[in-house]
A and B are shown apart, each in its own frame.
Chain A
């Protein structure tokens, strides 16, 4: 069975500092990986997916198959980045069923 691990429940950084939210997964195959974000009092929304290799709001995430990791990074954190971040995995051909990590609450301090 697949599993997604986010080792940090809470992460605080100062504004302008780099931030990295860790995500490791276990799956015997080539899954799709995603990062979802939930801002205060808002619904969960997709931030980025590995297959797109895109940068959204300054965030990037690289899939490292050797280390089975999909860490989320941003070089200069902003206060508006404060939110709950979930890493998620979807097996191929699964109709996009998602397995979520436990989430990391990011707080960007002024």
Chain B
């Protein structure tokens, strides 16, 4: 299957700083990528849909100024957590939709964010 990578896999930052997480589709082009958040022992919650060349669509309750998404190319989407606070600590997972594979979503390995 197609491969999606995330970088970094783990990041620790101080409160008030910004953190950027990258999501790349390695062997296919993805016009649509998705960003999820997963709290410990809970399910994945869709945060936003990232569309190449246009603005992201955010789910209700997700602050777009807090979680900046950029999808500047067909293989890269970035999520920037701005002015991070301890409550932003979570596991962030991206997925990319492969149109050549029945629109299947392929998931990245996730990024563990810890805000001190």
Interface residues of A (CB under 8 A from B): 43-46, 86, 95-103
B 25-43 to A, binary, CB cutoff 8 A, 1 in contact else 0: 0000000101000000011
In B72-99, which residues have CB < 8 Å from any A CB? Answer: 93, 95, 97
Partner of A99, one of B46, B95, B107, B109: B46
Partner of B110, one of A43, A45, A102: A43
Residues of A within 8 A of B43 (CB): 86, 100-103
Residues of A within 8 A of B104 (CB): 46, 96
> DSSP class of A's interface residues: helix, strand, loop or mixed?
loop
Contact B44 A86 (CB under 8 A): yes
> Can you give 10 A-B contacts (C-beta < 8 A)?
A43-B109, A44-B93, A45-B1, A86-B44, A96-B105, A97-B49, A98-B44, A98-B46, A100-B43, A101-B43
Q: A45-B106, A97-B34 provided; 11 other pairs, C-beta below 8 A?
A: A43-B93, A46-B105, A95-B97, A95-B103, A96-B105, A98-B105, A99-B46, A100-B44, A100-B45, A101-B43, A102-B43
